[in-house]
Homo-oligomer: A and B are copies of this chain.
Amino acid sequence: MEKLMTAKDAVREAIVSAKADKAMSWEEIANHVGCSPVFLTSACLGENSLTDDQASAVTSLLGIDSAHIPALTSCPTKGQRIHELANDPLVYRFQEITAVYGETLKELIHEKAGDGIMSAIDFTMDVEKIEDPKGDRIQVTMNGKFLPYRRW
């Protein structure tokens, strides 16, 4: 694991560095790869795994050594940076939303679909900026499969 982790960290650093040198955005890379910017960014940061084709597209676009491809396609250990990120105001606001609205989400998801949860695995997310004369807005759309609790 340690080894693959290091490999994940190395490719992350190589991508962030090349992306800065080429002044490319995550959105441009995602468009080139043909997938969602959220998914592409999370995989490059080490929180998801790419297919071989996706990984090749990333490394060739950014001019990164193809030896990094296995690190991009291997299964990550997720969530490992959350402790250092938890005090950052942007990230904290999402924790605050769960603190303030978590019980509301629980009530409404149960009301709409019964006893179960929204999957965070069979899950997609989008981030958009919505222009607004009173101040632009950020819209985050989360979409997860409803998983009913099994009775057996």
Contacts and interface: CB of A to CB of B under 8 A. Distances in A.
Interface residues of A, number: 99
A65 interface: no
A91 to B, nearest CB: 4
Interface in A1-55: 1-4, 9, 12-13, 16-17, 20, 25-27, 35-39, 41-42, 45, 47-51, 54
A61 interface: no
B45 A107 contact: yes
Contact of A39 (B81, B136, B148, B152): B152
Contacts of A85: 77, 102-103, 106
A114 B51 CA distance: 11
A132 to B, nearest CB: 8
Contact of A47 (B13, B101, B145): B101
A53 to B, nearest CB: 11
Residue in A12, A49, A78, A129 with the greatest tally of chain B CB atoms within 10 Å = A78
Nearest to A73: B115
8 contacts: A1-B12, A45-B103, A79-B87, A81-B103, A89-B100, A89-B121, A97-B142, A129-B146
**7 nearest interchain CB pairs?**
A79-B87, A79-B99, A118-B138, A82-B99, A112-B129, A124-B152, A91-B102
